[in-house]
A and B are shown apart, each in its own frame.
Chain A
Amino acid sequence: MPNWNRLQKNSFLECSARERAVGLVDDGTFVELGGPFDRLVSPHLVALGEAVENDDGIVTGVGRIGDRPVFVISQEGRFIGGSVGEVGGAKMVGIIDMAIDFHDRLVADHPDLPASARPLVAISFETGGVRLHEANAGLLAHAEVMDALQRARHKVPVVALIGSRIGCFGGMGFVAAATDAIIMSEFGRLGLTGPEVIEQEMGKDEFDASNRALVYRTTGGRHKYVMGDANFLVDDTVAAFRAQLAELCKLPVASFEPMRRIGSPELVEKQLRGVALAVELKPTDARDVWRHAGNNDPVGLADGPLSDFRKSVRRLAL
Protein backbone atom coordinates (compact mmCIF):
# COMPACT_ATOMS: atom_id res chain seq x y z
CA MET A 1 0.00 0.00 0.00
CA PRO A 2 1.51 3.39 -0.91
CA ASN A 3 2.48 5.81 1.84
CA TRP A 4 -0.55 8.02 2.12
CA ASN A 5 1.24 11.19 3.25
CA ARG A 6 3.84 11.00 0.52
CA LEU A 7 1.11 10.25 -2.02
CA GLN A 8 -0.66 13.54 -1.29
CA LYS A 9 2.21 15.57 -2.75
CA ASN A 10 2.38 13.45 -5.92
CA SER A 11 1.27 14.58 -9.33
CA PHE A 12 -2.26 13.33 -9.97
CA LEU A 13 -1.28 12.98 -13.63
CA GLU A 14 1.51 10.54 -12.77
CA CYS A 15 -0.43 8.42 -10.29
CA SER A 16 -1.72 4.95 -10.96
CA ALA A 17 -5.40 4.22 -10.56
CA ARG A 18 -4.81 2.51 -7.20
CA GLU A 19 -2.73 5.40 -5.86
CA ARG A 20 -5.51 7.83 -6.81
CA ALA A 21 -8.15 5.63 -5.16
CA VAL A 22 -6.17 5.34 -1.94
CA GLY A 23 -5.09 8.99 -1.86
CA LEU A 24 -8.50 10.52 -2.46
CA VAL A 25 -10.03 9.16 0.75
CA ASP A 26 -8.84 9.44 4.35
CA ASP A 27 -5.62 7.74 5.35
CA GLY A 28 -6.08 4.03 5.93
CA THR A 29 -9.78 3.92 5.10
CA PHE A 30 -9.75 2.57 1.56
CA VAL A 31 -11.02 -0.97 1.13
CA GLU A 32 -10.64 -2.34 -2.36
CA LEU A 33 -13.63 -4.35 -3.61
CA GLY A 34 -13.05 -6.65 -6.56
CA GLY A 35 -9.30 -6.24 -6.16
CA PRO A 36 -6.45 -8.07 -7.91
CA PHE A 37 -6.68 -11.12 -5.66
CA ASP A 38 -10.19 -11.73 -6.94
CA ARG A 39 -8.73 -12.08 -10.43
CA LEU A 40 -11.64 -10.51 -12.23
CA VAL A 41 -10.05 -10.79 -15.64
CA SER A 42 -11.71 -10.23 -18.97
CA PRO A 43 -12.66 -13.59 -20.51
CA HIS A 44 -12.72 -11.89 -23.91
CA LEU A 45 -9.07 -10.82 -23.73
CA VAL A 46 -8.21 -14.38 -22.70
CA ALA A 47 -10.05 -15.70 -25.77
CA LEU A 48 -8.00 -13.38 -27.96
CA GLY A 49 -4.75 -14.46 -26.35
CA GLU A 50 -4.17 -10.92 -25.04
CA ALA A 51 -2.56 -9.99 -21.73
CA VAL A 52 -4.99 -9.46 -18.88
CA GLU A 53 -4.89 -7.53 -15.61
CA ASN A 54 -6.32 -9.02 -12.44
CA ASP A 55 -8.42 -5.91 -11.83
CA ASP A 56 -9.24 -5.42 -15.54
CA GLY A 57 -7.70 -1.95 -15.42
CA ILE A 58 -10.10 -0.44 -12.94
CA VAL A 59 -9.83 -0.05 -9.17
CA THR A 60 -13.07 -0.08 -7.20
CA GLY A 61 -13.70 0.21 -3.53
CA VAL A 62 -14.92 2.27 -0.63
CA GLY A 63 -13.29 4.62 1.85
CA ARG A 64 -14.21 7.56 4.04
CA ILE A 65 -13.79 11.29 3.92
CA GLY A 66 -14.69 12.36 7.43
CA ASP A 67 -17.93 10.56 8.19
CA ARG A 68 -18.89 10.19 4.57
CA PRO A 69 -18.61 6.77 2.89
CA VAL A 70 -17.00 7.48 -0.47
CA PHE A 71 -17.38 4.81 -3.14
CA VAL A 72 -14.43 5.07 -5.50
CA ILE A 73 -14.03 4.04 -9.14
CA SER A 74 -10.58 4.68 -10.60
CA GLN A 75 -9.57 3.83 -14.16
CA GLU A 76 -6.05 2.79 -15.16
CA GLY A 77 -4.90 4.25 -18.47
CA ARG A 78 -1.78 2.09 -18.59
CA PHE A 79 -3.93 -0.97 -19.25
CA ILE A 80 -5.37 -0.77 -22.79
CA GLY A 81 -5.98 2.96 -22.48
CA GLY A 82 -8.35 2.62 -19.55
CA SER A 83 -10.85 1.04 -21.91
CA VAL A 84 -14.13 -0.29 -20.56
CA GLY A 85 -15.26 -3.85 -21.27
CA GLU A 86 -17.66 -6.30 -19.65
CA VAL A 87 -15.78 -6.67 -16.34
CA GLY A 88 -14.77 -3.03 -15.90
CA GLY A 89 -18.27 -1.86 -16.77
CA ALA A 90 -19.81 -4.34 -14.33
CA LYS A 91 -17.47 -3.06 -11.60
CA MET A 92 -18.49 0.55 -12.25
CA VAL A 93 -22.21 -0.24 -12.23
CA GLY A 94 -21.81 -2.50 -9.20
CA ILE A 95 -20.15 0.25 -7.16
CA ILE A 96 -22.73 2.91 -8.07
CA ASP A 97 -25.57 0.47 -7.31
CA MET A 98 -24.05 -0.36 -3.92
CA ALA A 99 -23.72 3.32 -3.06
CA ILE A 100 -27.43 3.80 -3.88
CA ASP A 101 -28.51 0.70 -1.94
CA PHE A 102 -26.34 1.65 1.04
CA HIS A 103 -27.82 5.15 0.96
CA ASP A 104 -31.34 3.71 1.04
CA ARG A 105 -30.54 1.38 3.93
CA LEU A 106 -28.79 4.10 5.97
CA VAL A 107 -31.62 6.57 5.46
CA ALA A 108 -34.19 3.93 6.40
CA ASP A 109 -32.28 3.33 9.66
CA HIS A 110 -31.44 7.00 10.30
CA PRO A 111 -33.95 9.30 8.58
CA ASP A 112 -32.14 12.39 9.89
CA LEU A 113 -28.71 11.28 8.78
CA PRO A 114 -26.70 14.39 7.90
CA ALA A 115 -25.42 14.79 4.37
CA SER A 116 -21.84 14.48 5.59
CA ALA A 117 -22.49 10.84 6.55
CA ARG A 118 -24.35 9.78 3.41
CA PRO A 119 -22.65 7.92 0.56
CA LEU A 120 -21.01 9.71 -2.36
CA VAL A 121 -19.43 8.27 -5.52
CA ALA A 122 -16.11 9.55 -6.87
CA ILE A 123 -15.01 8.47 -10.36
CA SER A 124 -11.42 9.11 -11.39
CA PHE A 125 -11.60 8.83 -15.17
CA GLU A 126 -8.73 7.78 -17.39
CA THR A 127 -10.23 6.26 -20.49
CA GLY A 128 -10.80 6.36 -24.21
CA GLY A 129 -14.19 4.68 -23.71
CA VAL A 130 -15.29 1.34 -25.14
CA ARG A 131 -12.66 -1.45 -25.27
CA LEU A 132 -12.48 -2.57 -28.88
CA HIS A 133 -11.45 -6.13 -27.94
CA GLU A 134 -14.90 -6.59 -26.43
CA ALA A 135 -16.60 -3.71 -28.11
CA ASN A 136 -20.25 -4.76 -27.99
CA ALA A 137 -20.05 -5.76 -24.33
CA GLY A 138 -18.33 -2.45 -23.56
CA LEU A 139 -21.05 -0.49 -25.33
CA LEU A 140 -23.78 -2.26 -23.35
CA ALA A 141 -21.85 -1.60 -20.14
CA HIS A 142 -21.70 2.12 -20.92
CA ALA A 143 -25.51 2.22 -21.19
CA GLU A 144 -25.78 0.53 -17.81
CA VAL A 145 -23.47 3.09 -16.21
CA MET A 146 -25.60 5.91 -17.58
CA ASP A 147 -28.74 4.24 -16.21
CA ALA A 148 -27.03 3.89 -12.82
CA LEU A 149 -26.14 7.61 -12.79
CA GLN A 150 -29.75 8.55 -13.40
CA ARG A 151 -30.82 6.21 -10.58
CA ALA A 152 -28.33 7.95 -8.27
CA ARG A 153 -29.89 11.36 -8.97
CA HIS A 154 -31.28 13.15 -5.90
CA LYS A 155 -29.79 10.46 -3.65
CA VAL A 156 -26.09 9.93 -4.09
CA PRO A 157 -23.87 12.67 -5.54
CA VAL A 158 -21.47 11.47 -8.23
CA VAL A 159 -18.26 13.48 -8.65
CA ALA A 160 -15.90 13.15 -11.64
CA LEU A 161 -12.15 13.70 -11.28
CA ILE A 162 -10.27 14.20 -14.55
CA GLY A 163 -6.55 14.80 -14.53
CA SER A 164 -4.86 11.65 -15.79
CA ARG A 165 -2.90 11.10 -18.97
CA ILE A 166 -5.50 9.61 -21.26
CA GLY A 167 -8.21 12.08 -20.29
CA CYS A 168 -11.85 11.04 -20.62
CA PHE A 169 -13.16 10.35 -24.11
CA GLY A 170 -15.57 8.28 -26.13
CA GLY A 171 -18.64 6.90 -24.40
CA MET A 172 -17.12 7.75 -21.04
CA GLY A 173 -17.25 11.41 -22.15
CA PHE A 174 -21.05 11.10 -21.93
CA VAL A 175 -20.78 9.49 -18.53
CA ALA A 176 -18.55 12.27 -17.18
CA ALA A 177 -20.92 14.92 -18.57
CA ALA A 178 -23.77 13.20 -16.74
CA THR A 179 -22.12 13.32 -13.29
CA ASP A 180 -23.08 15.98 -10.73
CA ALA A 181 -19.78 17.83 -10.46
CA ILE A 182 -16.48 17.71 -12.34
CA ILE A 183 -13.06 18.46 -10.87
CA MET A 184 -10.23 18.82 -13.41
CA SER A 185 -6.59 19.80 -13.46
CA GLU A 186 -5.21 21.74 -16.39
CA PHE A 187 -3.76 18.47 -17.69
CA GLY A 188 -7.13 16.75 -17.68
CA ARG A 189 -8.90 16.41 -21.03
CA LEU A 190 -12.57 15.81 -21.64
CA GLY A 191 -14.40 15.22 -24.88
CA LEU A 192 -16.26 12.78 -27.08
CA THR A 193 -14.27 12.26 -30.24
CA GLY A 194 -10.53 12.07 -29.58
CA PRO A 195 -8.16 14.30 -31.59
CA GLU A 196 -6.80 11.44 -33.69
CA VAL A 197 -10.29 10.32 -34.66
CA ILE A 198 -11.34 13.83 -35.68
CA GLU A 199 -8.21 14.17 -37.80
CA GLN A 200 -8.82 10.78 -39.38
CA GLU A 201 -12.52 11.47 -40.12
CA MET A 202 -12.35 15.15 -41.07
CA GLY A 203 -8.77 15.75 -42.18
CA LYS A 204 -5.77 17.61 -40.79
CA ASP A 205 -7.27 20.98 -41.75
CA GLU A 206 -10.14 20.39 -39.32
CA PHE A 207 -7.93 19.12 -36.54
CA ASP A 208 -4.21 18.50 -36.31
CA ALA A 209 -3.92 15.86 -33.61
CA SER A 210 -0.12 16.24 -33.39
CA ASN A 211 -0.54 19.85 -32.25
CA ARG A 212 -0.51 19.30 -28.48
CA ALA A 213 -1.31 22.92 -27.68
CA LEU A 214 -4.37 22.79 -29.95
CA VAL A 215 -5.49 19.54 -28.34
CA TYR A 216 -5.25 21.06 -24.85
CA ARG A 217 -6.90 24.29 -25.98
CA THR A 218 -9.87 22.30 -27.23
CA THR A 219 -10.39 19.67 -24.56
CA GLY A 220 -8.06 20.58 -21.67
CA GLY A 221 -8.97 21.58 -18.14
CA ARG A 222 -8.57 25.32 -18.62
CA HIS A 223 -10.94 25.37 -21.58
CA LYS A 224 -13.49 23.12 -19.90
CA TYR A 225 -13.39 25.45 -16.89
CA VAL A 226 -14.08 28.49 -19.11
CA MET A 227 -16.99 26.61 -20.71
CA GLY A 228 -18.48 25.62 -17.34
CA ASP A 229 -17.97 21.95 -18.20
CA ALA A 230 -15.55 21.60 -15.29
CA ASN A 231 -16.84 23.06 -12.04
CA PHE A 232 -13.44 23.20 -10.37
CA LEU A 233 -9.92 23.57 -11.71
CA VAL A 234 -7.32 22.37 -9.24
CA ASP A 235 -3.55 21.93 -9.08
CA ASP A 236 -2.03 18.72 -10.32
CA THR A 237 -1.56 17.02 -6.96
CA VAL A 238 -3.48 14.26 -5.23
CA ALA A 239 -3.88 16.63 -2.27
CA ALA A 240 -5.55 19.30 -4.42
CA PHE A 241 -8.07 16.88 -5.94
CA ARG A 242 -8.71 15.40 -2.52
CA ALA A 243 -9.21 18.82 -0.90
CA GLN A 244 -11.83 19.77 -3.49
CA LEU A 245 -13.57 16.41 -3.13
CA ALA A 246 -13.57 16.84 0.66
CA GLU A 247 -15.25 20.25 0.27
CA LEU A 248 -17.97 18.62 -1.82
CA CYS A 249 -18.39 15.91 0.80
CA LYS A 250 -19.83 18.51 3.14
CA LEU A 251 -22.75 19.27 0.82
CA PRO A 252 -26.23 17.74 0.68
CA VAL A 253 -27.29 16.15 -2.59
CA ALA A 254 -29.56 19.09 -3.45
CA SER A 255 -26.52 21.39 -3.59
CA PHE A 256 -25.18 19.36 -6.50
CA GLU A 257 -28.09 20.05 -8.86
CA PRO A 258 -26.94 23.63 -9.58
CA MET A 259 -23.49 22.30 -10.51
CA ARG A 260 -24.91 20.07 -13.23
CA ARG A 261 -24.49 20.75 -16.94
CA ILE A 262 -27.19 18.44 -18.21
CA GLY A 263 -30.07 16.43 -16.77
CA SER A 264 -33.10 18.73 -16.91
CA PRO A 265 -35.10 20.63 -19.56
CA GLU A 266 -33.76 23.93 -18.18
CA LEU A 267 -30.16 22.76 -18.53
CA VAL A 268 -30.83 21.63 -22.10
CA GLU A 269 -32.14 25.14 -22.87
CA LYS A 270 -29.01 26.60 -21.34
CA GLN A 271 -26.72 24.35 -23.39
CA LEU A 272 -28.65 25.30 -26.51
CA ARG A 273 -27.71 28.93 -25.89
CA GLY A 274 -24.12 27.70 -26.17
CA VAL A 275 -24.94 25.94 -29.43
CA ALA A 276 -26.52 29.14 -30.79
CA LEU A 277 -23.35 30.96 -29.77
CA ALA A 278 -21.29 28.39 -31.70
CA VAL A 279 -23.36 29.21 -34.80
CA GLU A 280 -22.95 32.94 -34.27
CA LEU A 281 -19.24 32.91 -33.43
CA LYS A 282 -18.18 30.19 -35.85
CA PRO A 283 -15.08 29.60 -33.74
CA THR A 284 -12.08 28.05 -35.45
CA ASP A 285 -10.28 27.85 -32.13
CA ALA A 286 -11.24 27.65 -28.47
CA ARG A 287 -9.54 31.05 -28.06
CA ASP A 288 -12.41 32.66 -29.98
CA VAL A 289 -14.81 31.52 -27.27
CA TRP A 290 -12.45 32.68 -24.48
CA ARG A 291 -12.35 36.12 -26.11
CA HIS A 292 -16.14 36.20 -26.36
CA ALA A 293 -16.34 35.32 -22.65
CA GLY A 294 -14.41 38.52 -21.92
CA ASN A 295 -10.81 37.33 -21.90
CA ASN A 296 -8.92 39.85 -24.02
CA ASP A 297 -5.61 38.02 -23.96
CA PRO A 298 -6.47 34.33 -24.30
CA VAL A 299 -2.92 33.39 -25.30
CA GLY A 300 -1.36 35.03 -22.26
CA LEU A 301 -4.09 33.62 -20.07
CA ALA A 302 -3.54 30.10 -21.38
CA ASP A 303 0.22 30.27 -20.94
CA GLY A 304 0.38 31.88 -17.51
CA PRO A 305 0.50 30.12 -14.15
CA LEU A 306 -2.68 28.36 -13.06
CA SER A 307 -3.05 30.54 -9.97
CA ASP A 308 -3.11 33.70 -12.15
CA PHE A 309 -5.54 31.99 -14.54
CA ARG A 310 -7.97 31.14 -11.74
CA LYS A 311 -7.82 34.69 -10.43
CA SER A 312 -8.36 36.54 -13.68
CA VAL A 313 -10.24 34.22 -16.05
CA ARG A 314 -13.76 35.13 -17.18
CA ARG A 315 -15.98 32.10 -17.61
CA LEU A 316 -18.58 31.85 -20.36
CA ALA A 317 -22.00 33.00 -19.20
CA LEU A 318 -24.90 31.27 -20.94
Chain B
Amino acid sequence: METLLGQGRAAIDLIVDAGSFTEGKVGARTFDDPDFGPGAVVGTALLEGETVTVIASDADAFNEKFPVVYSGVIGLEEGYKMAQAVYATLAADAEKEAARKRPIVLIVDTPGNGPGKVEEIFGMNKATGAYQLALAEARLAGHPIVAMVVGRAISGAFLCHGLQADRILSLTSEFQTMIHVMPITSVSRIIKKDVELLEGLAKSNPVFAAGPAFFYKLGGVEQLVETIDGMRPAIAAQIAGIRKAKADGAATLTGPRGRGSLGAERGGRVVRPKVQELLRSEFAAVEERFRPRVA
Protein backbone atom coordinates (compact mmCIF):
# COMPACT_ATOMS: atom_id res chain seq x y z
CA MET B 1 0.00 0.00 0.00
CA GLU B 2 1.17 3.52 -0.75
CA THR B 3 1.98 6.03 1.94
CA LEU B 4 2.29 9.80 2.20
CA LEU B 5 4.46 9.59 5.30
CA GLY B 6 7.18 12.22 5.04
CA GLN B 7 5.66 13.66 1.87
CA GLY B 8 3.85 16.77 3.01
CA ARG B 9 4.52 18.64 -0.23
CA ALA B 10 3.28 15.78 -2.39
CA ALA B 11 0.18 15.60 -0.21
CA ILE B 12 -0.60 19.27 -0.91
CA ASP B 13 -0.58 18.62 -4.64
CA LEU B 14 -2.83 15.58 -4.20
CA ILE B 15 -5.36 17.56 -2.20
CA VAL B 16 -5.68 20.98 -3.82
CA ASP B 17 -6.74 21.78 -7.38
CA ALA B 18 -4.00 20.84 -9.85
CA GLY B 19 -1.24 23.42 -10.08
CA SER B 20 -3.03 25.92 -7.86
CA PHE B 21 -0.67 26.01 -4.87
CA THR B 22 1.36 29.19 -4.44
CA GLU B 23 3.90 28.70 -1.71
CA GLY B 24 4.93 31.54 0.59
CA LYS B 25 1.97 33.80 -0.11
CA VAL B 26 -1.07 34.21 2.14
CA GLY B 27 -3.26 37.22 1.45
CA ALA B 28 -1.04 40.29 1.39
CA ARG B 29 1.76 38.55 3.22
CA THR B 30 4.75 36.91 1.59
CA PHE B 31 7.24 34.56 3.17
CA ASP B 32 10.33 35.26 1.08
CA ASP B 33 13.19 33.93 3.18
CA PRO B 34 13.68 30.26 2.23
CA ASP B 35 15.80 29.73 5.37
CA PHE B 36 13.08 30.94 7.73
CA GLY B 37 11.17 28.03 9.25
CA PRO B 38 11.89 25.71 6.31
CA GLY B 39 10.03 22.86 8.02
CA ALA B 40 6.77 24.80 7.70
CA VAL B 41 5.19 25.04 4.26
CA VAL B 42 2.59 27.80 4.03
CA GLY B 43 0.71 29.18 1.06
CA THR B 44 -2.53 29.63 -0.84
CA ALA B 45 -4.33 27.24 -3.17
CA LEU B 46 -7.71 26.47 -4.66
CA LEU B 47 -9.76 23.57 -3.39
CA GLU B 48 -12.62 22.77 -5.75
CA GLY B 49 -12.30 26.33 -6.95
CA GLU B 50 -12.31 28.00 -3.53
CA THR B 51 -9.34 29.93 -2.15
CA VAL B 52 -7.83 28.21 0.88
CA THR B 53 -4.77 28.69 3.08
CA VAL B 54 -2.60 25.60 3.26
CA ILE B 55 -0.22 24.79 6.12
CA ALA B 56 1.94 21.67 6.05
CA SER B 57 5.26 20.27 7.26
CA ASP B 58 8.18 19.41 5.03
CA ALA B 59 9.92 16.29 6.31
CA ASP B 60 12.85 16.81 3.92
CA ALA B 61 13.70 20.26 5.27
CA PHE B 62 16.44 20.81 7.82
CA ASN B 63 16.65 24.05 9.78
CA GLU B 64 20.38 24.72 9.96
CA LYS B 65 19.90 27.34 12.67
CA PHE B 66 18.03 24.93 14.92
CA PRO B 67 19.48 21.44 14.50
CA VAL B 68 16.59 19.72 16.33
CA VAL B 69 14.32 20.69 13.43
CA TYR B 70 14.22 18.04 10.74
CA SER B 71 11.87 15.31 9.57
CA GLY B 72 8.82 17.55 9.95
CA VAL B 73 9.51 18.66 13.52
CA ILE B 74 7.85 21.97 14.41
CA GLY B 75 10.53 24.22 15.87
CA LEU B 76 10.56 27.81 17.12
CA GLU B 77 10.58 29.39 13.66
CA GLU B 78 8.12 26.88 12.26
CA GLY B 79 5.57 27.43 15.03
CA TYR B 80 5.65 31.20 14.64
CA LYS B 81 5.64 30.99 10.84
CA MET B 82 2.52 28.83 10.96
CA ALA B 83 0.94 31.35 13.34
CA GLN B 84 1.81 34.16 10.93
CA ALA B 85 0.13 32.29 8.08
CA VAL B 86 -3.03 32.05 10.17
CA TYR B 87 -2.94 35.74 11.10
CA ALA B 88 -2.37 36.61 7.43
CA THR B 89 -5.48 34.56 6.63
CA LEU B 90 -7.49 36.46 9.23
CA ALA B 91 -6.23 39.78 7.85
CA ALA B 92 -7.01 38.82 4.25
CA ASP B 93 -10.68 38.22 5.03
CA ALA B 94 -11.13 40.71 7.86
CA GLU B 95 -13.81 42.58 5.93
CA LYS B 96 -15.75 39.50 4.83
CA GLU B 97 -18.77 38.23 6.70
CA ALA B 98 -18.13 35.14 8.83
CA ALA B 99 -19.81 32.75 6.38
CA ARG B 100 -17.45 33.77 3.56
CA LYS B 101 -14.12 33.54 5.31
CA ARG B 102 -11.61 31.31 3.55
CA PRO B 103 -10.90 27.84 4.87
CA ILE B 104 -7.57 26.76 6.30
CA VAL B 105 -6.36 23.27 5.43
CA LEU B 106 -3.76 21.72 7.73
CA ILE B 107 -1.88 18.80 6.24
CA VAL B 108 -0.59 16.85 9.19
CA ASP B 109 2.61 14.85 9.18
CA THR B 110 4.77 15.90 12.10
CA PRO B 111 6.67 13.84 14.66
CA GLY B 112 6.99 16.47 17.37
CA ASN B 113 8.03 19.87 18.66
CA GLY B 114 11.68 20.91 18.80
CA PRO B 115 13.21 19.30 21.91
CA GLY B 116 16.38 21.31 22.62
CA LYS B 117 18.10 23.50 25.16
CA VAL B 118 17.93 26.67 23.05
CA GLU B 119 14.25 25.93 22.49
CA GLU B 120 13.67 25.80 26.24
CA ILE B 121 15.83 28.87 26.95
CA PHE B 122 13.73 30.92 24.54
CA GLY B 123 10.43 29.17 25.29
CA MET B 124 9.32 26.58 22.75
CA ASN B 125 5.99 26.46 24.59
CA LYS B 126 5.25 29.96 23.28
CA ALA B 127 5.86 29.16 19.61
CA THR B 128 3.40 26.33 19.36
CA GLY B 129 1.07 27.98 21.86
CA ALA B 130 0.99 31.03 19.59
CA TYR B 131 0.00 28.83 16.65
CA GLN B 132 -2.79 27.17 18.64
CA LEU B 133 -4.22 30.51 19.76
CA ALA B 134 -4.10 31.86 16.20
CA LEU B 135 -6.01 28.82 14.92
CA ALA B 136 -8.58 29.08 17.72
CA GLU B 137 -9.08 32.76 16.90
CA ALA B 138 -9.51 32.03 13.18
CA ARG B 139 -11.94 29.18 13.89
CA LEU B 140 -14.03 31.34 16.21
CA ALA B 141 -14.00 34.13 13.59
CA GLY B 142 -15.65 31.78 11.10
CA HIS B 143 -12.77 30.35 9.05
CA PRO B 144 -13.49 26.65 8.49
CA ILE B 145 -10.38 24.71 9.52
CA VAL B 146 -9.85 21.13 8.38
CA ALA B 147 -6.90 18.99 9.42
CA MET B 148 -5.98 16.09 7.18
CA VAL B 149 -3.67 13.55 8.79
CA VAL B 150 -1.53 11.98 6.08
CA GLY B 151 1.41 10.75 8.18
CA ARG B 152 2.46 11.28 11.78
CA ALA B 153 0.24 13.20 14.21
CA ILE B 154 2.18 12.99 17.41
CA SER B 155 1.58 14.45 20.84
CA GLY B 156 2.34 18.17 21.28
CA ALA B 157 2.94 18.69 17.59
CA PHE B 158 -0.54 17.36 16.82
CA LEU B 159 -1.93 19.58 19.58
CA CYS B 160 -0.79 22.66 17.70
CA HIS B 161 -0.98 21.40 14.12
CA GLY B 162 -4.33 19.62 14.01
CA LEU B 163 -6.27 19.56 17.24
CA GLN B 164 -7.49 23.17 16.99
CA ALA B 165 -9.19 22.40 13.66
CA ASP B 166 -12.98 22.36 13.26
CA ARG B 167 -12.79 18.86 11.85
CA ILE B 168 -10.00 16.29 11.64
CA LEU B 169 -9.75 13.69 8.89
CA SER B 170 -7.22 10.90 8.73
CA LEU B 171 -6.11 8.43 6.15
CA THR B 172 -6.57 4.95 7.59
CA SER B 173 -3.65 3.09 9.13
CA GLU B 174 -3.06 1.17 5.88
CA PHE B 175 -1.32 4.34 4.75
CA GLN B 176 1.02 4.15 7.78
CA THR B 177 -0.62 7.10 9.46
CA MET B 178 0.19 7.39 13.14
CA ILE B 179 -1.81 9.22 15.75
CA HIS B 180 -0.65 9.00 19.33
CA VAL B 181 1.01 10.70 22.26
CA MET B 182 3.53 7.89 22.50
CA PRO B 183 3.75 4.39 21.00
CA ILE B 184 2.03 1.79 23.18
CA THR B 185 5.41 0.12 23.87
CA SER B 186 6.73 3.35 25.43
CA VAL B 187 3.51 3.89 27.38
CA SER B 188 3.87 0.36 28.69
CA ARG B 189 7.44 1.01 29.87
CA ILE B 190 6.60 4.29 31.58
CA ILE B 191 3.40 3.27 33.33
CA LYS B 192 4.82 -0.20 34.03
CA LYS B 193 2.04 -2.27 32.50
CA ASP B 194 2.52 -5.17 30.09
CA VAL B 195 2.09 -4.35 26.42
CA GLU B 196 -0.17 -7.40 26.10
CA LEU B 197 -2.45 -6.09 28.85
CA LEU B 198 -2.63 -2.65 27.25
CA GLU B 199 -3.31 -4.08 23.83
CA GLY B 200 -6.07 -6.26 25.27
CA LEU B 201 -7.67 -3.34 27.09
CA ALA B 202 -7.31 -1.12 24.04
CA LYS B 203 -9.98 -3.18 22.27
CA SER B 204 -12.60 -1.86 24.67
CA ASN B 205 -10.90 1.40 25.72
CA PRO B 206 -9.08 3.44 23.09
CA VAL B 207 -7.52 6.03 25.39
CA PHE B 208 -3.99 4.71 25.38
CA ALA B 209 -3.93 2.91 22.05
CA ALA B 210 -2.19 4.32 19.00
CA GLY B 211 -3.70 4.83 15.59
CA PRO B 212 -6.44 6.65 13.70
CA ALA B 213 -9.12 4.01 14.32
CA PHE B 214 -8.75 4.40 18.09
CA PHE B 215 -8.71 8.17 17.82
CA TYR B 216 -11.92 7.91 15.78
CA LYS B 217 -13.64 6.04 18.64
CA LEU B 218 -12.65 8.80 21.04
CA GLY B 219 -14.18 11.39 18.76
CA GLY B 220 -10.69 12.74 18.08
CA VAL B 221 -11.04 12.16 14.35
CA GLU B 222 -14.33 13.02 12.69
CA GLN B 223 -13.83 10.90 9.59
CA LEU B 224 -11.48 8.23 8.32
CA VAL B 225 -10.57 8.46 4.63
CA GLU B 226 -9.81 5.21 2.84
CA THR B 227 -8.25 6.37 -0.41
CA ILE B 228 -5.85 9.10 -1.44
CA ASP B 229 -8.30 10.26 -4.10
CA GLY B 230 -10.94 10.47 -1.40
CA MET B 231 -9.12 13.21 0.52
CA ARG B 232 -10.11 16.18 -1.66
CA PRO B 233 -13.87 15.53 -1.79
CA ALA B 234 -13.89 14.63 1.91
CA ILE B 235 -12.21 17.91 2.84
CA ALA B 236 -14.54 19.91 0.58
CA ALA B 237 -17.57 18.18 2.12
CA GLN B 238 -16.29 18.91 5.62
CA ILE B 239 -15.79 22.57 4.76
CA ALA B 240 -19.43 22.74 3.65
CA GLY B 241 -20.50 20.92 6.81
CA ILE B 242 -18.51 23.26 9.06
CA ARG B 243 -20.02 26.30 7.34
CA LYS B 244 -23.49 24.90 7.93
CA ALA B 245 -22.77 24.11 11.59
CA LYS B 246 -21.42 27.60 12.17
CA ALA B 247 -24.34 29.23 10.33
CA ASP B 248 -26.71 27.31 12.58
CA GLY B 249 -25.04 29.03 15.49
CA ALA B 250 -23.67 25.76 16.73
CA ALA B 251 -20.01 26.71 16.96
CA THR B 252 -19.67 24.09 19.67
CA LEU B 253 -20.46 21.33 17.17
CA THR B 254 -17.03 21.76 15.61
CA GLY B 255 -13.54 22.17 16.99
CA PRO B 256 -12.17 20.65 20.20
CA ARG B 257 -15.48 20.75 22.06
CA GLY B 258 -17.37 19.30 19.12
CA ARG B 259 -14.97 16.39 19.35
CA GLY B 260 -15.83 16.21 23.04
CA SER B 261 -19.50 15.57 22.21
CA LEU B 262 -18.48 13.11 19.52
CA GLY B 263 -16.32 11.25 22.07
CA ALA B 264 -19.40 10.73 24.23
CA GLU B 265 -21.55 9.67 21.26
CA ARG B 266 -19.01 7.11 20.13
CA GLY B 267 -18.57 5.77 23.66
CA GLY B 268 -14.91 6.75 23.91
CA ARG B 269 -15.10 9.59 26.44
CA VAL B 270 -18.34 9.33 28.34
CA VAL B 271 -17.32 10.82 31.69
CA ARG B 272 -16.32 14.26 30.35
CA PRO B 273 -19.89 15.63 29.90
CA LYS B 274 -20.99 14.26 33.27
CA VAL B 275 -18.14 16.06 35.01
CA GLN B 276 -19.05 19.36 33.41
CA GLU B 277 -22.74 18.94 34.15
CA LEU B 278 -21.93 18.26 37.79
CA LEU B 279 -19.74 21.38 38.06
CA ARG B 280 -22.53 23.49 36.55
CA SER B 281 -25.17 22.19 38.93
CA GLU B 282 -22.92 22.65 41.98
CA PHE B 283 -22.10 26.22 40.96
CA ALA B 284 -25.76 27.01 40.36
CA ALA B 285 -26.43 26.14 44.01
CA VAL B 286 -23.90 28.68 45.31
CA GLU B 287 -23.89 31.24 42.51
CA GLU B 288 -25.85 33.82 44.49
CA ARG B 289 -22.92 34.17 46.91
CA PHE B 290 -20.69 35.34 44.09
CA ARG B 291 -23.01 37.87 42.56
CA PRO B 292 -22.18 41.55 43.06
CA ARG B 293 -23.14 43.02 46.40
CA VAL B 294 -25.17 45.86 44.97
CA ALA B 295 -28.41 47.46 46.11
Q: Which residues of A contact B (CB under 8 A)?
A: 31, 33-34, 38, 40, 42-44, 47-48, 50, 60, 62, 64, 67, 69, 85-87, 89-91, 93-95, 97-98, 102, 106, 110, 113, 117, 129-130, 132-144, 146-147, 149-151, 153, 170-171, 173-178, 190-193, 197-198, 201-202, 206-207, 218-219, 223-224, 227, 229, 261-265, 267-268, 271-272, 274-275, 277-279, 282-286, 289
Contacts and interface: CB of A to CB of B under 8 A. Distances in A.
A156 B286 CA distance: 20
A104 B124 CA distance: 34
Determine chain A's interface SS by DSSP, over half rule. Answer: helix
A198 B115 contact: yes
Interface of B: 65, 68, 76-77, 80, 83-84, 87, 91, 113, 115-130, 132-134, 136-137, 140, 155-156, 158-160, 163-164, 179-182, 187, 190-191, 193, 201, 204-209, 214-215, 218-220, 255-257, 259-260, 263, 268-273, 275-276, 278-280, 282-283, 286-287, 289-294
A150 B129 contact: no
Contacts of A135: 180-182, 187, 207-208
Contacts of B116: 193, 198, 202, 206-207
Return the 10 tightest CB-CB contacts between A and B, nearest first. A173-B125, A150-B136, A135-B181, A143-B163, A177-B129, A262-B130, A174-B129, A90-B275, A69-B290, A143-B256
Contacts, number: 275
Given A197-B115, A275-B76, A191 B124 contact: yes
Nearest to A174: B129
A265 B202 CA distance: 42
B218 A147 contact: no
B194 to A, nearest CB: 11
A140 B275 contact: no
A144 B208 contact: no
B205 A44 contact: yes
Nearest to A134: B207
Contacts of B283: 33, 62, 98, 102
